[in-house]
Amino acid sequence: MKRMILTMAYLRLSKTRMRRYKKQLSGISFIVMFFCLLSCGDSGRNNKSFPKETEIVFSEMNVGENLGKVVNLKLSDKYLIVGERNLETQIQLIDRETKENYLFGRTGEGPGRLLQGFEVIPNDNHIEVYDVQKRTLFDFDIDSVIKLHEDAQPEVLIEKIPMLLLSMARLNEQTHVATGMMSELKRFALMDGNGEIVSMAGDLPEKKEERISDFVHAFACWGRLTTNRKESKVAACTNYAGIIQVYDCKTSEVKLIGEHNLFYADYDENNGNFSVTQGTRWGYLSIDSNDKYIFALYSGLYQMGTPDGAYTRSGVIHVFDWECNPVCKLVSDRKLQHICIDNDLNLYGYDTEEGDIVVAGIKEIFTQK
């Protein structure tokens, strides 16, 4: 009945008004269609909601040694690896059971010294450290670190990497995957043992405006990586956008498996540099994974108007499977800046407000029916 009344009223309109209303209806139809596409998606791209939300409580790890400025957390077997800035060293190795800790990776210009150890990469009984200033990938033997501490000397794996990389991970024994300031607008590069690029993969979203330079656009779409070495998969998150993507790298033709897209990056360019706007939000702050799940620390806050840089820490963690399907949302009692996970579902984080390494056992959440 209501539809009939609306139809009769519509027929009484003048031709001019009919044209105007048709445009409005067309706009409404477009909006409805747009949101239907967002909600439905396909196997490759989606923003499906999380089926459940669970609160988690962390406890302090009590590592004893004072932490510097923490920039990275990773796990290697029974050890927690902390990339940090101390006065003399840049990495800390912590035994998760005994809480014994070992500072290593001396700061300095000389051979075997680190200027800015930006990324730590576990590799069996070794720890690889990417120095973003030296553009060099170092390798520390864990046994040597435990024996010699800060006197442990690294081996140089890759020297003078030709591009500025901001995040690295191992895909297999022969290949690293890396993201950063690429010469092409791609999400990441696959590199061989000599640091040579084997291929570049993953299309970035289109530029916000044509006038924006490739460099600024690449910076806006930059993020971090985690890998599933058993399945040769890569998960990439984006710092200035709410985007998670998962890629299959089994063959030379890298394939996008799935995408979870909450919002695109909003930014501007000022004198060739990235410039924030009123709409600039932070997306994902940190990402790590185990054999089954991807864990991504999510901000979603606006950079302007958020007090005390609170947009760079969060208590919200999005969990996906390796097909990029949302599994659950975890809400922490702590504000974190970095996270890492093991196969037993022990979740570690760095609490920036308290300056503590914290841990939560969350296995029960994933075994509940």
**Right CATH for 48-367 from 2.120.10.30, 3.40.920.10, 3.40.50.620, 3.40.190.10:** 2.120.10.30
> Which pLDDT value is given to residue 206?
87
Q: For residue 23, what pLDDT is reported? A: 38
Those residues with Cβ within 8 angstroms of residue 70's Cβ, 6 or more apart along the chain or in another chain: 82, 83, 84, 337, 338, 350
Q: Give residue-wise pLDDT tens across range 261-316.
A: 999 999 999 998 999 999 999 999 999 999 999 999 999 999 998 888 899 999 99
pLDDT profile of the chain (369 residues), mean per 10: 36 37 36 32 57 95 78 93 88 93 93 92 95 94 96 94 84 91 80 88 88 90 93 95 96 92 95 93 97 97 90 96 97 96 96 92 88
Asked whether 121 and 129 are in contact (CB, 8 A), the reply is yes
Q: Return d(Cα 219, Cα 245) in angstroms, integer.
A: 17
pLDDT for position 4:
36
| pLDDT of amino acid 35 | 31
d(CA 301, CA 283) in angstroms, rounded, equals 8
Diameter over CA atoms, the chain: 89
What is 13-80 written as a DSSP string? S-HHHHHHHHHHHHHHHHHHHHHHHHHH--SSSB-PPPS-EEEE--EE----SPP-EEEEEEEETTEE
Q: What is the pLDDT of residue 309?
A: 86
Q: Could you tell me the residue ranges of all domains in the chain?
A: 1-40, 48-367
